[in-house]
Amino acid sequence: MKTTILLNNFVLYCRIGIGEQEHHIRQPVRFTVEITLKNNTAPEKLEQSVCYYALSEYIRTLSTTHIPLVETMAAKILDYCLSQPNAQAAVVTVEKLTIVAQAGSVGCRVEGEN
């Protein structure tokens, strides 16, 4: 059995980007995070899992300062995920939703393992 903790389509308004206008405006950014747990059984206690609420609060804290690249933000979130004691692997997707008018989103995905 493989257990994956999910935080899907979490949208926050962030100051993110290298353009001068992006330093001063908040734009919608979507975060999707998957964390695969180390143990091959279903956790019965939070201590055996990863707290998705704490993950959402970490991302919320990151969103309060300007970050130049989605790649930087994704890497910071990935590092947080992999620092959790029960995390074996993680996938983090960060997408800007409105910066390119003709695109549904632009962004990046990073993956890592312990």
* DSSP for 39-53, written as a single string: SSS--SSGGGS--HH
Q: What is the pLDDT along the chain (114 residues), one digit of tens a residue?
A: 889 999 999 999 999 988 777 777 899 999 999 999 997 767 778 888 899 999 999 999 999 999 999 999 999 999 999 999 999 999 999 999 988 889 889 999 999 999
Cα–Cα distances in angstroms (integers) from residue 82 to residues 33, 43, 70, 99, in the given order: 12, 18, 18, 29
**Rounded distance between C-alpha atoms, residue 18 and residue 49, angstroms:** 36
Can you give the pTM of this predicted structure? 0.92
Q: How many domains does one find in the chain?
A: 1
Which structural domain, as residue segments, surrounds residue 65?
4-113
In this structure, what CATH number is given to the domain that contains residue 52?
3.30.1130.10
